[in-house]
Chain A
Amino acid sequence: MKRYLLGLGCLLGLSVCSSPTPNHADTVRIRWARDPENLDPLVLPNAQAVETTNLLHCSLLTVDYAQKKFVPWLAETMPTVRRTDSLTLVTYRLRPEAAWDNGQPILASDVAFTLKVMSCPGLPNEAARAQFAFIESIQLDSLDRRRFTLAFRGKSPDLVQASGDYPILAEHQLDPRGQLRHISLAALRADTVQATPRRSASVTAFARGYAQKNLGRHPENLPGSGPYVLKEWRAGRHVLLQRKKQWWGDRVPAAPPQLRAHPKTLDYQIITDDATALLALRRGDIDVYPMMPAKEFVRLRQNQKAGDLAFYTADSYEMLAAGFNMRQPALRDALTRQAFSHLFDIPGLIQASQQGLAYPSVSLVSPTAGPLYNDSLPLLTFDPQKAQALLTQAGWTRNSQGWTRHPAGAAPQRLEPTFSYRAGEPAYEAVALQFRAAAAKIGIQVQPRPMEASLFSQQLRAGRLEIYLQSLSGNPFVYNFAPILHSQSTGWGNFTGFGTATTDQLIEAIAAEEDPARQAQLLRKFQRVLRQDCPLVVLYFLRYRLAAARRLTNLHVTGIRPGYEAAAIKSQPAGAVRP
């Protein structure tokens, strides 16, 4: 036994001496916390899959991270928009250089095909189908094979952006026999939960062929129009993308930034544990560590003033909010909710759980949004005295057991709210414990209830929670609050039960408004309404944190996920970096 152990020791010793030093001149290695799981362009289950798909496939439009707006990608320019009385008509023209890897041009028929695939029954496309169901029809230009017009109902400007935000798929790859060509979009969409008409044989055959391609695990079976190809994917270990030698984007004269892709190889290393990832960064096993935990980020930045790492932060659109379920009797009146909103010690929480790398806001709009942000509203203060006063105003009286009230014609109420959140997130737990302690000081017994993720969302949808914590993610382009605050979304995104005819109208008006000045006015009004009615309290907006090797430049660090632009990254040769 001893001899074997000795042998093992020698083997290990040998391997320590001969550990390989990989050559990574043109490789950018990025840390991911999880596997993309499914790279089918129709499915996209998580942020990692979205990021990969955006490198493998091009959409009509894309986001310019530096300017924080949509820019044309496969499209030649931003589309022209025409409005008839009921329809919005959006006309695109594809870039003449745009081509598939085999040299075939990308044409309007590919876009039409993509829309059909996204509606074809039998494919794993439910989400895409719901999201792009607003596009009613596509009209191909009979003269120009690159020009087409999309028609949809609704006038809001975000629909125009959304109409170009899906990866375009190659018809000659997926449907070489044209099985979908003669079937209309409307016929495909007739297949719903309620009605399942007999599927035509060609649709069934197409669905079978699609399933056989096994795109979820083998996206290389469908070469895309993006600058990268999937070279290797070892589930749970790494995803390796390689720059195409011949990409159509290289032929575009004076190519805009979105048509440039610098790194020769992108190596996404999947490291599940944060502490391990930090060590890997320190050892130089990875070059980019996005979404770094605040504490580690701050500590490393202090220690590494002149090290080989560079540190970036960006104001994000991701916020932590506390919601009040207005369907619960005790939380039905605005005064009680306002009282609770004064029990959050927001500056303390920002300092404690985000190390100051977050910023407060009066409402759902980021303070960086300029005129859209209602700066005349004061930030929420931590004020238990005021909370007490507001509670008294709301009809609650404090006695030895706590706060009670006796509304006329209803059962007596006690103020003992539960405070629910997804378990395992320390930032949530910090909020829950702080809120509980603050409430206890004025005699309210709050019960924190951490829950497993699926149980939490199940209870949330059922409306059984009282106060809850939720992460909300916004963006700089669109102000549509319908998914979380419209009365139609109650139980499906709107968990507060907020929404009257007036506020629904206001939400719709904001989404549909095109004129920036008028939209700002409406938005500011909406923020005032939210402060008054207090269905939810925005605790803070996060600041994204990213650490990267100093030799990397042009990372385009932004507050939009994933927080950087992998294709833009430039790498300086090792000698050129000054320490």
Chain B
Amino acid sequence: MSRPFRSRPRRWWLALGWLLALLFAALLAPVLPLPYAPDTTDLTAIAEAPLTGSHWLGTDPLGRDLLAGLLFGARTALLVSLPAAALATLLGGLIGGIAGFWGNTGLRLPLSYAAAAAGTGLFLLGFHGSPTIVWAGASAVAAGLAGGVALLGRRGYRRTVAVPFDALALALMALLASIPLLVLVLALAALYPPSWPGLLAVLVLTYWPGPARLVRAEILRIRALPYIESGWALGLPAVRILWRHALPNCWHTLSATFPLSVATLIGLETTLSFLGVGLPPETASWGRLLAAARLAPTAWWLVLGPAAAIIGTTVALRQLAVREPAH
């Protein structure tokens, strides 16, 4: 990544140019002199083809301007899809990395801490009442358990328990992947009104298992490699081995799939809007423009415009993220 700028290939500059253009479109969309706003419907121009009327790039079946939709959709992509893909990759990478690295037995906690944490959790789960009393009770339980364990034996305070992180992570992934999206969304929608952070949370929540699985597999392989062994032999702390030596080697896997994640999340965001927890219908997004093509299967421009935008973005991201081998 530290090559001098001068030697970057032209493709790299093109990619950077595209993403900058995207950023500008997102920032400047409200002040650009667009003939139509993205959220108003022109009832006289329904599913109009490009260059036939006053809409340069045509309209969707509800009479919304495609050009405005594309430009304002860039905002949505930048505010929702990209952060969601980045957060999901980060979270998935961390969970997958820890699960693969420590497995079920590698991560050990002092028994007294574990007992105190479990006791507090159970207490809070079992009782409720005024906050002061509850917290006082929980602290008393925690202190009692921790002390009790320490007194168990002479070396009780040094006893540790293994945290089966790998099994937990795998079960959680299977759980999240098994819940039908509709059930999850309805359960959430009954609790929270739709909002931007909520949407981001749902997207990250449903998408992190993918990257996690990839990183877990990579770490399983890397863990057995000699240089990690030598790291252990040198007595390096585990966190440092994971963070500085193991995880960076997963980068090539993650960076290859990250652009695909963006495209997937744009689609997922549209599905969520359809279920009523996503973005409000007046917010333009590329996914929604693509979905509008469903109403008018012959309106090729509705596919071409947003698909080109998504392809451009994913290819540009890939170009920036992936290190090409020197040749």
Does A touch B (CB under 8 Å) in the complex?
Answer: yes
Q: Which residues of A are in contact with B by a Cβ distance under 8 Å?
A: 275, 295, 345, 348-349, 351-353, 423-424, 426, 429-430, 432-434, 436-437, 447-452, 454-456
Chain B contacts for A432, CB-based, 8 A: 281
A447 to B282, CA, bound (A): 9
B302 on the interface (CB 8 Å rule)? Answer: no
Given A451-B276, A452-B275, check contact A348 B186 (CB 8 Å).
Answer: no
Within the complex, which residue of A351, A426, A447 is in contact with B62, where a contact is CB–CB below 8 Å?
A426
Q: Which residues of B contact A447 (CB under 8 A)?
A: 280
Pick from B46, B189, B282: contact of A455, CB below 8 A.
Answer: B189
Residues of A within 8 A of B62 (CB): 352-353, 426, 429-430, 433
Chain B residue, CB-CB nearest to A422: B276
Contact for A352 among B46, B182, B186, B194, CB less than 8 A: B46
Interface segment among B2-10, B36-44, B101-109: the answer is B36-44
Q: Which of A433, A451, A456 contacts B41 (CB 8 A)?
A: A433
Would A352 and B40 count as touching, CB distance under 8 A? no
Q: List 23 A-B contacts (CB under 8 A).
A: A275-B297, A295-B47, A349-B43, A352-B44, A352-B46, A423-B275, A423-B276, A430-B41, A430-B43, A432-B281, A433-B62, A433-B281, A434-B41, A434-B43, A436-B282, A437-B39, A447-B280, A448-B281, A448-B282, A449-B276, A451-B189, A452-B182, A452-B276
Q: Which residues of A contact B280 (CB under 8 A)?
A: 447-449
Which residues from B are CB-within-8-Å of A433?
Answer: 39-41, 62, 64, 281-282
A426 touches B46 (CB 8 A): no
Given A348-B43, A433-B62, A454-B186, 7 new contacts (CB under 8 A) = A351-B44, A423-B276, A429-B281, A432-B281, A433-B64, A436-B39, A451-B189
Inter-chain contacts of A423 with B (CB < 8 A): 273-276
A437: contacting residue among B41, B46, B296, CB under 8 A: B41
Contacts of A348 in B (CB 8 A): 43-44
Asked if B190 lies at the interface with its beta carbon under 8 angstroms from chain A, I say yes
- Give the Cβ gap from A226 to chain B, nearest Cβ, in Å: 37
The one of A345, A426, A451 that contacts B61, using a Cβ cutoff of 8 Å? A426
* Contact A450 B282, CB 8 Å, known A352-B43, A436-B39: no
- CB closest chain-B residue, reference A428: B281
CB-CB < 8 A to B295: which residues of A? 295, 426
5 A-B pairs with the lowest CB-CB distances in the bound complex, closest first: A348-B43, A451-B276, A352-B43, A275-B297, A437-B40
B275, closest chain A residue (CB):
A452
User: Cα distance A450–B280 when bound, in Å?
Assistant: 8
Q: Is B287 among interface residues, defined by CB-CB distance under 8 A?
A: no
A375 and B190 CA atoms in complex are apart in Å by 44
A-B pair count, CB < 8 Å, reads 74
Q: How far is the CB of A417 from chain B (nearest CB, A)?
A: 14
The complex places the Cα of A96 from the Cα of B295 at a distance, in Å, of 52
- Pair A452/B185 contact, Cβ less than 8 Å: yes
Residue B63 CB within 8 A of the other chain? yes
In the complex the two chains form, what is the Cα distance from A57 to B44 in whole Å?
48
CB distance from A358 to the nearest CB of B (A): 13
The answer for the CA separation of A434 and B63 in the assembled complex, in Å, is 10
Q: Which residue of A lies closest to B185 (CB)?
A: A452
Complex CA distance for A429 and B182, rounded to whole angstroms: 20
Shortest CB-to-CB span from A298 to chain B, Å, is 11
In the assembled complex, the Cα of A169 lies from the Cα of B296 at a distance in Å of 45
The verdict on A345 contacting B43 (CB below 8 Å), with A433-B282, A449-B280, A452-B189 known, is yes
Q: Which residues from chain A contact B281 at a C-beta distance below 8 Å?
A: 429, 432-433, 448, 450
CB-nearest residue of chain B to A279: B297
Complex Cα–Cα for A300 and B94 (A): 55
Identify the closest chain A residue to B294 (Cβ): A275
Q: Scan B16-54; emit 1 where CB is below 8 A from any A CB, else 0.
A: 000000000000000000000001110110110000000
Per the 8 Å Cβ criterion, residues 173-187 of B in contact with A are 182, 185-186
Chain B min CB distance to A281 (Å): 14
Q: How far is the CB of B283 from chain A (nearest CB, A)?
A: 10
Q: Which residue of A lies closest to B193 (CB)?
A: A449
What chain B residues lie within 8 Å of A345 (beta carbons)? 43
Query: How far in angstroms is the closest Cβ of chain A from B116?
Result: 41
Report B196-239 CB contacts with A as 1/0, cut-off 8 Å: 00000000000000000000000000000000000000000000
Distance (Å) between the CB of B188 and the closest chain A CB?
Answer: 11
Q: A352–B63 contact, CB under 8 A? A: yes
Q: Which residues of A contact B296 (CB under 8 A)?
A: 295
Which residues of the partner chain B approach A275 to less than 8 Å between Cβ atoms?
297
Chain A residues with CB below 8 A from B186, complex form: 452, 454-455
Pick the most buried of A345, A426, A456: most chain B CB atoms within 10 A of its CB.
Answer: A426
A434–B282 Cα gap in the complex (Å)? 10
Contacts of B275 in A (CB 8 A): 423, 452
Closest B residue to A347 using CB positions: B43
Complex interface: chain A residues within 8 A of B189 (CB)? 451-452, 455
